[in-house]
Structure 1
Amino acid sequence: LTKKSLSVGSSATALAMLSSALSLFRLSVVLTGDSSLRSRKMSSLLSAFRKMGLDVHSTKKDDTPPFIVFGGEAGGGRVSLTAGEVRHLPALAVAAPGTAEDTVFQFPAKDARFFVEPVLDVFGQARMRVESMPGILAFPKQTVSGFTYTVREELSSSAPFIILSLLRGREVCFRPGKISGRDQLFLSLLKKFGLGVSQTTRSIRLCAGRPRGASVDLSQAPELLPIFAVLSCFARGRSEIWGLEEARSSKSDRVYAVFTALRRLGADVVVYQDRMVIRGSTSLRGGEVNGAGDYAVTAALCIAGALAKGEVTVVNGPEALRQAYPSFISVLRHMGVETSYA
């Protein structure tokens, strides 16, 4: 590596992974990104790096990127993570095999499976040693060899299309492989909204119907907040979405972006410090809304537009959507939605 500065665009995941990996090399590198990434406060990530002995710092006082990585021999040892730091386990695991001593992470076990599961999947495919038990993940010091990793498909990545189909009265059937913890969360959320979910060892069947209002915690899945906010607009009664903190500091402030957009389309939505409250209605109206440069917000607003009475135009979002979901618009067209990039 000869470059002293690298850009990761809008990807906080790439920033975290590269910061961890580059900490093992004797070099100094500045990692930066686009304007949206440079405005995201990442105090919990930097705190987790420090606890592990990785020399990674923000170049600003508010813990936003750019980051500067001073690589070398990283510490390892016993690392105690808070509930807010557990989500960084996949990034921390990148450096764990190459630290100066064995690394043992201790953390609150509640909801940790969403972050432990992908680590075990990668290390399993790489045939590397890792020990796992509730609240503990241990990595012996070991040499990393090259390997081929197959990214597993997740049902939840199709959430916008699934929810559109269900709200249009269509049954959805899947024959997935291994069901991830995040997929189980997605299915449990659908059940809470009163939508039928039938699982066998070979298939998953989702039954359409008028959803009912529900109270759900999305603290572990901030990417699902926009689409479940749209679902709540068409549910009978009152819905509450809790766990907003992570969504406020994702690729955009998803809470504010969704709130302002849905209000513009006629939704009855109120945001408090700790929750979003939506009273379901039978329809949304057309209008122009802002996707906040966020693929999850833009995708959800496209689904809202497909269900609204009137034309919906989404600005400041198509490029992010095109990067994250290259075939998103073509899939919507295949589903019978009249839509296009302007």
Structure 2
Amino acid sequence: MVSNGKAAEHPAASGPRTARRSSRIEGIRAASPDKSISHRAIMLAGMAQGISHIEGLLESADVLATAGAVRALGANVERTGDGQWQVKGAPQWRSPDGDLDLGNSGTGVRLLMGAAARFDLTARFTGDVSLSSRPMERVLAPLRLMGVTTIAADGGRLPVTLNGSTRLNAITYTPPVASAQVKSAILLAGLGAMGETVVIEPEATRAHTETLAPLFGADMTMERDGAGLVARVRGGKALHAADVHVPGDPSSAAFPLAAGLVAGTGPVTVTGVMTNPARFGLYRVLEMMGADISITPAGSRAGEALADITVRPGTLKGVQVEPHIAPSMIDEYPILSVIAAFAEGVTHMTGLAELRAKESDRLAASAALLAANGVKVELGEDSLTVHGMGQGDVPGGGLVKTLHDHRLAMAGLVLGLGAKDPVTVDDVAMIATSYPGFFDDMAALGADIA
């Protein structure tokens, strides 16, 4: 074994960074492993009988926090090489000796609450300052309907103490807010419930749990219902070990590809990107904007189709981004707002209330990012309007307050690559939570980030 579960040590990037126009932005990079599937693979393997092997796991701070928590709950989780992990599952999780600290990971903490709910255990979930400000009640409410008892901080926030049960009730539940995290928490708890648990989504969200869990033997299905989705899981079936090769993350791929669109001197290609429709909204919007983008099928991994995506710099136009698109690109609005600044005309995005409950108030912070760099924006309660300035005409020169949000930090740096004047972000430490290879990938493409 290489280690007891920690990725190889690298100097952590932290503090401010400044991005400026480069003489070259082009090249080919492999997609960073998908964070959502990495979380789920570790959790499902940790509950399964036998030894699972995970290839290409994202070794980010968020995923490593999930791996540590699953280990604390009784599974044997070990790193065997670069991106290579072995998990000997514990079909009966136990109460951990200390708090389960999920750092900055909303996906990790919410899904793990659901996974832990089906066992006779008591666990106290904590996180960093940013995660502790995010709402947990949306997950806790349905779990209590299933028979879990919880104690949370004011406003249903962390720290949360959860008392699970091996005799959970199956429920039928319609989440009031479209959230793959809420759906997945309920489905993971439903693995141990008596009867069939059903989650009804009026607007379909990403279905990675529904795709991945059957590989581990779960009796879980999904069916489309117009724009919505109905997911079902029948409890009581034991999980077995499985081998998983994690596909590339479309959310992380958005940043080098955006750099190619707004600052490129030639083509930028990211290979092995997952094309799950519930995660691919940004790329469909880019097509609407007239981006020079090609999407070439490239096989599949873990039940998910892959593609190689190439972009070339060119003229973009402002578009209307309707609310129904939001669930398929909820994490990509900060970088879309940056791309919109380099388009010709107005881009109007609506249905974005969920952005106010992310690592930061991403809606207000995205508007502030652009305004600080000379771009005219209009902020609504659930909308953002960006008045595009065209290629080469975004002023830049501002300081971006990242508010402990990795996507804001990366979006601000991409803005600086195409702006007239350099753009500085106040901290980059949190980028490691989702995309630890960001700086290496951008440097390889020619980005000037100092």
Fold in common (TM above 0.5): yes
1:234 aligns with 2:339: no
Partner of 1:211: 316
> Aligned pair in 2 of structure 1 residues 76, 150: CA closer, same or farther (>3 Å)?
farther
In the alignment, the residues of structure 1 paired with residue 434 and residue 244 of structure 2 have an alpha-carbon distance, to the nearest angstrom, of 20
Residues 261 and 47 from structure 1, CA distance in 2 versus in 1: closer, same or farther, beyond 3 angstroms? same
CA distance change for structure 1 residues 77 and 63 in 2, over 3 Å: closer, same or farther?
same
Cα gap change, 1:196 to 1:183, in 2 (>3 Å): farther
The C-alpha deviation readout for 1:182-204, integer Å capped at 9, x for no partner, is 44322211112221444454555
**Contact conserved, 2:117 with 2:143, CA < 8 A, in 1?**
no
In 2, Cα distance between equivalents of 1:299 and 1:337: 12
For the Cα contact (< 8 Å) 2:125–2:158, is it kept in 1? Answer: yes
Count residues in correspondence.
334
Of the three residues 234, 245, 265, the one matched with 1:150 is 245
Using a 3 Å threshold, how does the CA distance of structure 1 residues 260 and 109 change in structure 2: closer, same or farther?
closer
Match of 1:78 in 2: 171
- Cα contact 1:46–1:57 (8 A) shared by 2: no
381, 387, 401: which is aligned to 1:273? 381
Which residue matches 1:164? 259
1:301 correspondence with 2:392:
no
Gap change, CA 1:204 and 1:9, over 3 Å in 2? closer
Cα displacement (A) at 1:162: 0.3
Call closer, same or farther: CA 1:127–1:23 in 2, change over 3 Å.
closer
The residue number in structure 1 matching 2:433 is 323
Question: 1:335 maps to what in 2?
Answer: 445
**Aligned pair 1:103/2:199, yes or no?**
no
For structure 2, the residue ranges without an aligned partner over 5 or more in a row are 1-94, 299-307
- 8 Å Cα contact 1:25-1:73 kept in structure 2: yes
2:372 counterpart letter in structure 1: R
Matched, 1:257 2:365: yes
Match among 140, 147, 151 for residue 53 of structure 1? 147
Q: Is the 8 A contact 2:175 2:183 kept in 1?
A: no
Which range moves more in the overlay, 297-306 or 130-139? 130-139
Does 2:401 align with 1:290?
Answer: yes
Matched, 1:127 2:127: no
CA distance in 2, matches of 1:126, 1:336: 41
2:291 alignment partner in structure 1: 195
Mean Cα deviation higher: 204-213 or 158-167: 204-213
Structure with bigger RCO (C-alpha 8 Å, 6+ apart)? 2
Distance between the aligned counterparts of 2:331 and 2:201, measured in 1? Answer: 22
Which residue of structure 1 aligns with residue 118 of structure 2? 24
Residues 294-327 of structure 1 deviation map (CA, whole Å, 9 limit, x = unaligned): 1100000000111121222211x31101332222
Whole-Å separation in 2 of the counterparts to 1:279 and 1:36: 30
Which structure 1 residue ranges, 5 or more long, are not aligned?
none
State the one-letter code of the partner of 2:212. V
What is the alpha-carbon root mean square deviation over aligned residues?
2.2
Cα gap change, 1:321 to 1:191, in 2 (>3 Å): same
Q: Is the 8 A contact 1:211 1:235 kept in 2?
A: yes
2:144, 2:261 → 1: CA distance? 45
- The amino acid that maps onto 1:159 is A
Aligned to 2:54: none
Query: Which structure has greater strand proportion?
Result: 2
Q: 1:69 to 1:222 in 2, by over 3 A?
A: same
Q: CA deviation at 1:175?
A: 5.3
Distance 1:224 1:261, change over 3 A: same
Q: Which amino acid aligns with 1:132?
A: M
Q: Give, in angstroms, the shift of residue 275 of structure 1.
A: 0.6
User: What is the TM-score of this pair, normalised by structure 1?
Assistant: 0.89
Contact 1:52 1:76 in 2 (8 A): yes
TM-score, reference length from structure 2: 0.69
Summarize the Cα distance change of 1:219–1:155 in structure 2 as closer, same or farther, 3 Å threshold: closer
SS in 1 for 2:245: coil
Q: 1:69 aligns with which of 141, 149, 162?
A: 162
- Aligned counterparts of 1:7 and 1:177: Cα–Cα separation in 2: 30
Match of 1:311 in 2: 422
When residues 82 and 322 of structure 1 are mapped into structure 2, their CA distance, relative to the original with a 3 A threshold, is closer
* C-alpha contact 1:284 1:304 (8 A) present in aligned 2: no
Closer, same or farther in 2 for the Cα pair 1:174/1:264, shift >3 Å? closer
> Separation in 2 of the partners of 1:222 and 1:184?
10
Deviation at residue 212 of structure 1 after TM alignment: 0.4
% same residue: 22
Counterpart code for 1:126: F
1:185 aligns with: 281
